[in-house]
Amino acid sequence: MTDFFISYTGADQQWAEWIGFVLEEKGFTTTLQAWDFRPGSNFVMEMQTASSSARRTIMVLSSDYLDSKFASPEWAAAFLDDPMGFNEKLVPVMVRPCNPIGLLGTIVQIRLTDLDEAEAVERLLAGVDQARAKPSSRPAFPGAALNYPPEFPGTTDQAEQRTTSFRGGIPKLRVAPTDIEKRRFVKKCFETMKVLFERSAKEVSEQEPRVEIEFEMRTSAEFRAELYLDGKSKNMCRVQLGGSHSQNNIAFSEGGHLSDNGYNELITLQEGDELYFAAAMAMGFSRIEKEYDLKHMNADQAAHYLWERFTASLQWQ
């Protein structure tokens, strides 16, 4: 048996592979579609074998996962095998903000949203550890702001050092990001969008026979996609790094015909306590408006916002 079967939807494949790699680095065994379902195999049989032969199932939790018809049987099998959660057979790992309801809402989640990689690794490994989560050292006393734990009554020199050591502090000074840091931040967002569109286009085309999405990388700073339903073109889009006379914008154009000079949305770089993105032309577009603050997005959220816009026509089919 493998330790973990990793259940995910195409939009979160990058997360699933990252989770699988981290777990295998620590000696766990995993099964996931991208690595283990090879060409020529039967997808349904592979999924059945993977879910039934794994000790535990990790669900890569996001709004796309909750909306997926294909993911439900994967987590349901683990839930039915351990409905009370005594053996922790089903482990939700939330990678993008969402609101699980019903049975899923009762299961404790591992949340990786808004963490850097080191923090995410630590939280993931701590979450899958079935041992008690008691810390190895005593927590700080919460009764006073400046309370120091008893120290070993050592030599006179040590006592003097404790008495004379400086216990004050200075506020953390904010350092404005440099131009090159801003540029790299925007490029990373564009790369995130490219990966999401390319992988999701392939996933949708494979899973829904009526839909075909063609993805084309025009230049290192521009890609295009076209959505077909039953062979008929339903939408085209172009995503460009740079737009509206700024290198730190990402321009999005869509429709039946793409103008070289116009765009329908502009993802702009914003600067506060951190770098983030805002949708300059957002006006309550679809359900994603309820999930994200479109005036304060990270790269992953900005990418999913544009994907939602591009594929919105499928919601009414």
Q: Indicate if the alpha-carbon torsion angle 204, 208, 211, 216 is positive or negative.
A: positive
Mean pLDDT of 14-35: 91
The average pLDDT across 76-80 equals: 69
pLDDT value for 82: 62
d(CA 123, CA 108): 13
- Strands 275-279 and 265-271 turn out to be antiparallel
**pLDDT for res 168:** 52
Q: Name the more confident of 46 and 95.
A: 95
* Measured distance CA(11)–CA(46) in Å, rounded: 20
Report the DSSP beta bridge partners of residue 278.
Answer: 268
CB 5 within 8 A of CB 37: no
d(CA 156, CA 58): 55
The C-alpha atoms of residue 199 and residue 204 are separated, in whole angstroms, by 9
Average pLDDT of span 82-86: 65
d(CA 261, CA 228): 24
Alpha helices in 165-217 (DSSP H): 179-207
Residues 156-185: tens digit of each pLDDT: 454 455 444 445 555 666 678 888 888 899
Mean pLDDT of the region 281-292: 63
Q: Residue 286: is its pLDDT beyond 60?
A: no
> pLDDT, tens digit, for every residue of 104-141?
777 888 999 888 888 999 999 988 887 766 666 776 66
> Does the pLDDT of residue 225 top 90, yes or no?
yes
pLDDT > 70 in the chain, percent: 76
Q: Among 4-18, 74-88, 245-259, name the most confident range.
A: 4-18
CB 132 within 8 A of CB 99: no
pLDDT in the model for residue 281 = 79
Pick the range with the lowest mean pLDDT from 21-30, 199-208, 238-247: 238-247
- As a whole number of angstroms, the distance between CA 44 and CA 183 comes to 44
Compute the mean pLDDT over every residue in the chain, rounded to the nearest whole number: 80
CA distances, 259 to each of 109, 113, 263, 264 (Å)? 45, 36, 8, 10
The predicted pLDDT at position 15 comes to 94
User: How far, in Å, CA of 309 to CA of 304, rounded?
Assistant: 9
Q: Take residue 153 and report the two structure tokens written for it.
A: 């009554």
pLDDT: is 40 or 295 the higher one?
A: 295
C-beta of residue 276 within 8 angstroms of C-beta of residue 297: yes
